């Protein structure tokens, strides 16, 4: 597997987490960064597994001390990619995958332009709406904000090196791995 950094981004609800889980299932050698966030855990989420859950004060301290390679606000919460663990894995030659939103991907592109940038797209906007509303984890107001933002994010797919359509999770994961290993 080609060593390096791959950045996966796409609109909320497109299935980034599900595709990344499928990649890890078949390719456990891929290291996936665990982001920090100020949002509360969803049912079934574990601190340090899906996210590092921190309060706003701790997040602000981490930003101020330069502990993130990227950070941004999304849907009213702060998210950031811890710099230290990523740099350690890259130095060790481990293939790394960041699952982040558009503004974070832009920050990483500025800081690490040699990374591979992949946009995960829904098969249709209607399917994206179905996925977001089907979660049942957010209020209608939050879903509306996510959909407004998704329209903007979908327009940015041309900023990415590659586009993978998530029409089938296993197929999308296989396409992502093929991009990561350069085949």
Of 3, 2, 85, 4, give the one whose Cα is nearest residue 48: 85
Find the CATH number of the domain harbouring 13: 3.40.50.300
pLDDT of residue 2: 52
- Residue ranges making up the domain that contains 59: 5-181
Quote the number of domains for the chain: 1
Q: Tell me the per-residue pLDDT of 59-91, one tens digit each, with 9 for 90 and over.
A: 999 999 999 999 988 778 999 999 999 999 999
Do 26 and 177 meet the contact criterion of CB atoms below 8 Å apart?
Answer: yes
* DSSP characters over 114-168: TSEEEEEE-S-HHHHHHHHHHH--S-HHHHHHHHHHHHHHHTTGGGSSEEEE-SS
Cα 5 to Cα 13, 47, 171: the distances in Å are 23, 24, 21
Q: What is the pLDDT of residue 1?
A: 46
pLDDT, one tens digit per residue, over 101-131 is 888 999 999 999 999 999 999 999 988 888 8
Quote the pTM value.
0.86
């Amino acid at each position: 597997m080609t060593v390096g950094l791959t950045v996966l981004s796409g609109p909320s609800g497109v299935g980034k987490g599900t595709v990344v889980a499928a990649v890890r299932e078949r390719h456990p050698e891929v290291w996936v960064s665990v982001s920090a966030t100020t949002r509360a855990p969803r049912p079934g989420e574990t601190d340090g597994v899906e996210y590092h859950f921190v309060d706003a004060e701790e997040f602000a301290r981490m930003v101020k001390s330069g502990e993130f390679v990227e950070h941004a606000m999304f849907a009213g919460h702060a998210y950031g990619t811890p710099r230290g663990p990523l740099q350690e894995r890259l130095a060790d030659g481990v293939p790394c995958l960041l699952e982040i939103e558009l503004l974070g991907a832009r920050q990483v592109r500025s800081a690490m332009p040699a990374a591979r940038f992949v946009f995960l797209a829904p098969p249709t906007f209607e399917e994206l709406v179905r996925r977001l509303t089907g979660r049942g984890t957010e209020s209608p107001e939050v879903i509306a904000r996510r959909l407004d933002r998704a329209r903007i994010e979908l327009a940015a797919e041309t900023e990415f090196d590659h586009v993978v359509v998530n029409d089938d999770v296993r197929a999308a994961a296989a396409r992502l791995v093929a991009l990561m290993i350069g085949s």
